[in-house]
Amino acid sequence: MKFISIFLLFALTFVTACSNDLTENKRDAVIKEVELTDFEIGLLNVVSEHFFAYDLEIKERDVQRIMITVDYYGEGELMEELLQLSIEISEEEIKDDIRIILLKQNLEEKDQWIGTIILNNGQISTTAEKDIDMEAEMLGSASGYTSLPVSINREEKKIVATIVNSNNNVISLETSIETDEQLEAATGYEQVYIVSIELE
C-alpha cells in the first residue's frame, strides 16, 4: 500500500509538471518586473514621482503590436484615457525581451506621463506623453505593481500597475485586478491611475 501511495504521488507530480509545461508553452508572452540597480532606481526617483519598468518576453511570433494605456479614474468612475502608447513590432525584434518604462511626473500642478518602449538593441521605438490638470492636491499617494510575472495572450489586456492619490487615512492597493469587482475596489478613491498592457 505504501509503494502504491508513493507511485501515485510520483505520477501526480509528473502529470502536474507536464501540465505546467503545457500551460507555459501556451502563453503568448510574459510580463516581468525589471530588476533595476540601485543607481537606476535613484535616477528614476530623481526624474519622476512614480515609475514602472517591465520586460516583455514574447513567445508567440505572430504578435505584431504592443499597446500600453494609462486610464484615469475619479471616485470609481473612468474619467479619461490619459495615455496610449502603441508600436508595431517585427518577428526579428521580438527575439529578445522588450523593455517598457513609464514615468509619472508632477510639473507645475500638472501630471505628466511619459511612456517608452525600448528594444534590447538599445533603439528607442517611440515615446508619448500627456498632461492633465489636477483638480485637487491629495494628502496621500501610493503606487505598486500587480502580481508579476504574469502571462498575457494576444487580444488580452492586463492591468500591471496602479497609482492612488487620496485623502483617506488608509490606502490599499490591489495586487490582482482581473475582475470587475477587483477593478471597482482598486479605483474606489479620489484619483486612481490604472496601467495596462495589451498585445495584438
The residue with greater pLDDT, 16 or 115, is 115
Domain of residue 163 covers 2-199
Give the pLDDT of residue 18: 39
Residue 105: pLDDT above 70? yes
Rounded mean pLDDT of 36-51? 91
pLDDT at residue 113 in the model: 86
Tell me the C-alpha distance between 68 and 80, whole Å.
Answer: 15
What confidence score (pLDDT) does residue 188 get?
Answer: 95
- Cβ neighbors of 200 (< 8 A, separation 6 or more) are 63, 64, 65, 67, 154, 155
Share of the chain above pLDDT 70, in %: 77
- Sheet with 191-199, edge to edge strand ranges: 77-88, 65-74, 191-199, 157-166, 140-145
Into how many domains does the chain fold?
1
Instruction: Give 21's Cβ-side CA count (13 Å radius).
Output: 6
Checking if the pLDDT of 78 tops 90, the result is yes
The answer for residues whose C-beta is within 8 angstroms of residue 23's C-beta and 6 or more apart is none
Closest CA to 55 of 31, 36, 38, 35: 31
